[in-house]
Amino acid sequence: MATRRYEFGRSDEANHPDTLRATLAEFISTCIFVFVGEGSALALRQIYKEPGSSAGEVVVLALAHAFALFAAISASAHVSGGHVNPAVTFGALLGGRISLLKAIYYWVAQLLASIVAALLLRLVTNNMRPEGFSVSVGVGAFHGFVLEIALTFGLMYTVYATAIDPKRGSVASIAPLAIGLVVGANILAGGPFDGACMNPARAFGPALVGWRWDNHWIFWVGPLIGAALAALLYEFVMVPIEPPHAHHQPLASEDY
């Protein structure tokens, strides 16, 4: 979508094969990401009697999320754009890079995928309760809220610069790697404080299946605000306005 546009969606978009394929791709990729991310937390609980007591555990979580997201985005980028995150979809919507109708499809798919992944984990781990996300002892809800805004801002800015910007050029080839790396780095920076969620879908499924709702709003409102700020800044400041007569090679239909 080389040209910014705001629209609800075309009349034929709701049941168009491309839309359905993109929605399915979002479901599968988000399921993979949540399964690996939450699964790594449960694996650490199984290995260590006191999870979170070692700095090495944060490194393991960061690597697991970075690798899983890199794979999930690489597998779906050519079909759906590889959002794998309701906050990223929200940012793309505010930037005029996706229709409202398709964004709704993506949100439903991402949240359902998170629930399925959490249920599957509970089954294969013999009913272990998902960890989910929570604010660490000594860290207030407001601090966690601001941290989620900051972390997701960095994530969305990277997404825009490497995957959405119409003039991103050859850097698009490393977009999945760059996005996975920034998520891993953010977990190293913010994980000990609030888990460094940055993704409402990543938080929702485990919270529902594990029934852990303490300060859950932080992991929705924070990422959505952070993504919105980054998307609006990049779209209206970093992306140059093209004159009407300008012509560029159009992007593939599966791009953001």
Domains and CATH numbers, the chain: 17-238 (1.20.1080.10)
The C-alpha atoms of residue 120 and residue 114 are separated, in whole angstroms, by: 10
Place of tokens 């490194």: 59
Structure tokens at 137: 């002892």
Based on the number of CB atoms within 10 Å of its own CB, is 194 exposed (0-12), middle (13-18) or buried (19 or more)? Answer: buried
Query: Which stretch of DSSP H or E encloses residue 2?
Result: none
pTM: 0.90
Q: What is the pLDDT of residues 51-107, one digit of tens each?
A: 555 678 999 999 999 999 999 999 999 999 999 999 999 999 999 999 999 999 999
Q: What is the pLDDT of residues 139-185, one digit of tens each?
A: 899 999 999 999 999 999 999 999 999 888 889 999 999 999 999 99
The C-alpha atoms of residue 1 and residue 141 are separated, in whole angstroms, by: 38
pLDDT, position 74: 96
